[in-house]
Structure 1
Amino acid sequence: MKVMVGIPSYNNGDTISFVVEQAAKGLEKYFGGGLVVNADGGSSDGTRDAVLSARVPDGVEVRSFVYKWPIPGKGSAMKELMEVARDEGVDALVFVDSDLRSITPEWIYKFAKPIEDGYDFVAPLYIRHKWDGTITNNIAYPMTAALYGKNIRQPIGGDFGVSAKLIDVYLGDEEVWKTDVARFGVDIFLTTTAIANDFRVIQTALGLKIHDPKDPAASLGPMFNQVVGTLFMLMVRYEDAWKEVGTLEAVPVWGELVKGEPEPVKVTLSLLKERARELFSENEAVLQKVLSEETLKGVMEALKTFEFDDVLWSHVLYDGAAAYRRGILKNAEPLIPLYFAKTADFIEKTMEMSTLEAEKLIEERARVFLEEKTYLTEKW
């Protein structure tokens, strides 16, 4: 089987050579060699030099290029990596992030082998700290599970395995790459497109994920808007695929699950609360049009106490999606203060919990979102 590892990057000079070396060892050990390709966004810190000077075994070719797609972002890098994979005729393309510190050669096997076994999309299943991946835990996971009925725990995990057949689907519509799919919307696009088009999906057990996590209140940047906006855009595109789904189906896991407690992630609870209240004031006029009267009332109470239950939170996102569809909500940014408030609620509830205990609350959230789905279909 011909396997390529694709690594998107932008100013990851400190971490990327380790990722390249581990990926190359995996290709050599399990597939007799292969191709590692880096698509860079024009880094100024020597990222590409680090890639090309990485020590790799014989039989592994390493390439690095600056992508040409005019929209700067992770998705543009991944688009051009898929084009390379298609041109090279690979059977499996494995995407890995450039800041991973926990990647091992086995990760490459765990992403590529299920493709050889007949799957088309391989999602990561890691153990992440309870406060790592708050957009995943609060939005991408419960929304994807409830909408499409597939219990994929890390739909925007960043590391994936994809088949040649699926690459053709991803590259089939050039217009979609002119949206936030070219930026941080790419991961939810890859996962949703695979599920909505009935490709065979599986999760692969990877153990602990150690990378460079960020404090959600301090460094959200444009990611929220791009991920949630893309999720809403895909809901419109794939309406026929989710509207009648009423059950949550387990997605198989490839490999053995392991347990452990990941490195702690720093969060500034006071800043989350402060930003939630401040940004709500700035966006209140828009939110009055987006949210139902009852949801808005619940949100205003939640901003006083930071008690923000999952039913209310599902209604916020479902109102947001319906408003996006009708053109009332142009992008997801006005929802950020409510995301901050929900994140603060989760941090307070899980302060004394282990990651495993907190995980049960996140799984319950997906079930609540499914139970509340009639609220969405009525609003839609």
Structure 2
Amino acid sequence: MRVIVGIPSYNNAGTVSFVVKQAAKGLKEYFEGGIVVNADGGSSDGTRDAVLSTPVPEGVEVHSFVYRWPIPGKGSAMKELMEFAMEREADALVFVDSDLRSITPEWIKGLAGPIEENYDFVAPLYIRHKWDGTITNNIAYPMTASLYGKNVRQPIGGDFGVSAKLIDVYLEDEEIWKTHVARFGVDIFLTTTAMARGFKVVQTALGMKIHDPKDPAASLGPMFNQVVGTLFSLMERYENVWRGVERIEDVPVFGELERGEPEPVKVTLDLLEERSRELFAEYEAVLKKALAPNTFKGVREVLKTFEFDDRLWSHVLYDGAVAYRDGILEEAKPLVPLYFAKTADFVKRTMDINTLEAEKVIEERARVFLEEKDYLLERW
């Protein structure tokens, strides 16, 4: 099987060489070689030099290019990595993030191996600290699981395996790459498209994910806008798929997931609450139009205590999706203060429990979203 590992990057000189080395070892050990290719966004810190100077085993090629797609972002890099894979007639393309510190050669086997067994989309399954991946835990996971009925735990995990057949589908409509899919919307686009179009989906156990996490209150606003905006727009595209979904099915897992406690992730609770209140005041007028009256009333109460139950939170996102479809919300950005409030609630709720126990809280959230789907159908 011809396997290519694609690494999108932007100013990752400090970490990318390790990722290249581990990917190359994985290709050599499990697939008798292959190609590691880096699509860079025009880094100024020597990222491409770090890629090209990394020693790799015989039989592994290393390439690096600056992507040409005019919209700067992770998705643009991944689009051109897919085009590169098609030109080289790859059977499988593996995407890995350029800031990974926990990647091993086995990750390449885990992400590409299932393609040999006729799976088309391989999602990562790893242990992450309870406060890492707040957009995943609060939005992307419960929304995609309840909408499309597949229990894919890390729909925006960043590390994926895709088949050549699926790459054709991702590249069939160039217009989609002129949206937030060209930026951080790309991961939810890849996962949702695979599920909604009926491709065979599997998860692969990768152990711990250790990377450069971001404090949500300090830096995740633009990512939120791009991920959630893409998720909402795909709901319109695939309405005929998710309308009839009434249960969440387990998705097969390759390998065994080791349990453990990852290194802590910093979350500034005071800043989350402060930013939530500030931004709510800024977006209050549009939120009053976007949210149903009871939902709006509920979130105003939340901002007094930051106790934010999952049922109300599902209504916020379902109302947001309807408002996005109807043009009341031109972007998902006005929902950011409520995401900050929900994250603050989750941090407080899980302060004294470990990551495994916090996982049960997140799984329960997906079940609540499914239970509240009738609310979405009424509003839609």
TM-score by length of 2: 1.00
* Corresponding residue of 2:321: 321
Equivalences for residues 70-81 of structure 1 within 5 A: 70-81=70-81
Give, in angstroms, the shift of residue 220 of structure 1: 1.4
Give, in angstroms, the shift of residue 222 of structure 1: 1.1
* Corresponding residue of 1:38: 38
Equivalences for residues 340-355 of structure 1 within 5 A: 340-355=340-355
Output the CA distance in 2 between the equivalents of 1:344 and 1:111: 33
Q: 1:336-373 deviations in whole A, cap 9, x for unaligned? A: 00000000000000000000000000000000000000
Give, in angstroms, the shift of residue 27 of structure 1: 0.2
Output the CA distance in 1 between the equivalents of 2:224 and 2:324: 15
Equivalences for residues 23-62 of structure 1 within 5 A: 23-62=23-62
Look up the SS of the partner of 2:219 in the other structure.
Answer: coil
* Corresponding residue of 1:312: 312
* Corresponding residue of 1:233: 233
In structure 2, give the amino acid aligned to 1:130. Answer: K
* Corresponding residue of 2:13: 13
Unaligned 5+ segments in structure 2 are: none
Give, in angstroms, the shift of residue 219 of structure 1: 1.1
Give, in angstroms, the shift of residue 221 of structure 1: 4.0
Q: 1:45-90 deviations in whole A, cap 9, x for unaligned? A: 0000000000100000000000000000000000000000001000
Output the CA distance in 1 between the equivalents of 2:33 and 2:43: 27
* Corresponding residue of 1:138: 138
Look up the SS of the partner of 1:157 in the other structure.
Answer: coil
* Corresponding residue of 1:66: 66
* Corresponding residue of 1:272: 272
Give, in angstroms, the shift of residue 377 of structure 1: 0.6
Output the CA distance in 2 between the equivalents of 1:221 and 1:11: 20
Output the CA distance in 1 between the equivalents of 2:220 and 2:255: 33
Identity over aligned residues, as a percent?
A: 79
Output the CA distance in 1 between the equivalents of 2:276 and 2:176: 32
Output the CA distance in 2 between the equivalents of 1:220 and 1:3: 32
* Corresponding residue of 1:124: 124
In structure 1, give the amino acid aligned to 2:202. Answer: I
Give, in angstroms, the shift of residue 256 of structure 1: 1.0
Q: Do residues 263 (structure 1) and 266 (structure 2) align?
A: no
Aligned length: 380
Q: 1:197-246 deviations in whole A, cap 9, x for unaligned? A: 00000000000000000100011141010000000010001111101101
Equivalences for residues 108-123 of structure 1 within 5 A: 108-123=108-123
Equivalences for residues 105-184 of structure 1 within 5 A: 105-184=105-184
* Corresponding residue of 1:2: 2
In structure 2, give the amino acid aligned to 1:356. Answer: L
TM-score by length of 1: 1.00
RMSD: 0.4
Give, in angstroms, the shift of residue 5 of structure 1: 0.1
In structure 2, give the amino acid aligned to 1:268. Answer: T
Output the CA distance in 2 between the equivalents of 1:266 and 1:155: 22
Residue pair 2:221, 2:336 contacting (<8 A) in 1 also: no
Q: 1:94-121 deviations in whole A, cap 9, x for unaligned? A: 0000000000000000011100011000
